[in-house]
Amino acid sequence: MLILTCPYCGVAADETELTPGGEAHLTRETVGADDAAFEGYLFKRENPKGVHFERWRHAYGCGKWFHAARCTVTLEVFGTYPAQTTEPPKDIRDKITAKRPGWSWRDFG
């Protein structure tokens, strides 16, 4: 069972109170993007064994979207952070580095 703490209301929300929103920090390619970039935006997703960044919505609570960093193998949650960012904040990345040295996810790590 996955329990994520909503960064907006501070509630430790059970997985069933949340709506999954897929991979985090996607760049939305739009008018003017070349085909490869658009294909990447539409179809290319990470499928990591280990550190992963995801979007979640606190659907049965405050209703806000937020980000979560977790391990797909152990379900360990490294941290959650608000949605108003385009990359994982430094404190979250430092926490992951402390627990999973040598991790990488897309261009991070």
Partner 1 sequence: MSDILVKIHRAAPYGMITLRGDLSSTALQKAATDAAGVAFPETGMCVFEGKSGLSWMSPDELLVLMPHDQIQSTLAQIEKALNSTHFLAADVSDARAMFTITGPHWRDVLAKLTPADVHPDSFQQGHFRRTRLAQVPVAFWQSSADTVTLICFRSVADYVEGLLVNAGRAKSNADYF
Least distance (Å) between residue 66 CB and partner 1:
11
20 counts as binding partner 1 under rule CB under 8 A: no
* Torsion, Cα of 27, 31, 37, 41 (10° steps): 40
Whether the CB-CB separation of 53 and 86 falls below 8 Å is answered with no
14 binds partner 1 (CB under 8 A): yes
Closest approach of partner 1 to the CB of residue 17, in Å:
5
Using CB under 8 A, which of 10, 22, 101, 102 touches partner 1?
10
Verify binding: residue 42, partner 1, rule CB under 8 A: no
Q: Report the candidate in 91, 81, 76 with the shortest Cα–Cα distance to residue 55.
A: 81
83 binding partner 1? (CB under 8 A): no
Interface positions with partner 1 (CB under 8 A): 8-14, 16-17, 60-64
